[in-house]
Amino acid sequence: MTRHFRTAAVIGAGTIGLSWTALFAGHGLTVRVSDPRPDLAEAIGTALAAFTPHLTAQGLDTDGLADRVHFAADVTEAVRDADVVQENGPERVAFKKELFARLVREAPGHALMLSSSSAIPATVFTTDLEDAGRILIGHPFNPPHLLPLVEVVPGERTTEEAVQAAVDFYTAVGRTPVVERQEIPGFVGNRLQSALNREAVYLVQQGVVSPEDLDTVVTHSLGIRWSTVGPFLGSHLGGGPGGYRHISAHIGRSMQQLALGQPSQDPKDRERVIEAVEKAYASTPYTHLAEARDRRQLAVLSALEDIRRNQHQKEN
């Protein structure tokens, strides 16, 4: 690692920020959290209690976990001696412009500054900053203390040193960073997710399938496949010995003729989909659904890690 990360500032303690807080503390960092929410202490305590089993399952030492997390009175206090800052504020350009201007002003000169932005590229909110070289996107998937991927997306003025530092940092806290070399709104993961979600909404609007049955289609086919291989490798294997070239020349032709749907934006049509999803899932408390999701994700991650470990032992 080219840098040592001992202290992290987490700016914004919503769902993502609380998850980052637990992950960073689980890896031994001192974490200072800033958020104007009046229930900050309670929210952090609840999150740490809920996430501790997840961290333990990942082999992390959670003794003294809460002692490594501190509440900051404001952003200035949070970043005062931070080695890395993870921002998790609202998805608004004006907000991020103002916040990062303050972060650059208040944080130490060596501090790496990362944004969890889901769609806004770093260049959009750093155009007026002189010190934009250490700012870039570190976009996770929810919840980041469980899902390994972090999309590392530099802005036009981000330095290569900052990109490497981000890769080193996320690797050190057990994540899988992927550097994306061209900025595009939504980055890669959310654009792929958005494409699938658009077609899912269209199919429900057309009465082809219910929300819960569509979820069953994904979790019993594509979800299992994509947890082990991505779309390109999946297609390459689907082509048999002829690989991706074979499937592109044969099945690929018929698939390219599919006209994907465009969901209706009529408020009544959108409301019908919302009501259908609520009918399927809203009767179960959110916490129960989230716990079930996390148990399943941990089981998948654990199984994949066992396979990786066994393969490593065979090779050595």
Average pLDDT by consecutive 10-residue portion of the chain (316 residues)?
Answer: 85 97 97 96 96 95 95 96 97 97 96 97 95 97 97 98 98 97 96 97 98 98 95 93 90 78 96 97 94 93 90 86
Q: How many CB atoms lie within 10 A of CB 305?
A: 12
Q: How many helices and strands, by DSSP H and E, does the chain display?
A: 14, 8
Position 208 scores a pLDDT of 98
Degrees to nearest 5, angle at CA 95 with 187 and 14: 70
Q: Are the C-beta atoms of 79 and 110 separated by less than 8 Å?
A: no
> Which CATH superfamily does the domain covering 7-179 fall into?
NAD(P)-binding Rossmann-like Domain (3.40.50.720)
Position 258 scores a pLDDT of 82
Taking alpha carbons only, the member of 142, 37, 29 closest to residue 84 is 29
| 130 included as an active-site residue | no
Degrees to nearest 5, angle at CA 7 with 151 and 125: 45
Position 2 scores a pLDDT of 57
User: The pTM is what?
Assistant: 0.92
Position 15 scores a pLDDT of 96
Architecture in CATH for domain 189-283: Orthogonal Bundle (1.10)
Position 259 scores a pLDDT of 84
Instruction: Report the C-alpha gap between 231 and 253 in whole angstroms.
Output: 16
Beta bridge partners of 8: 31, 84
Q: Which helix (H) or strand (E) holds 270?
A: helix 267-281
Indicate which residue of 42, 91, 130, 151 is catalytic.
Answer: 151
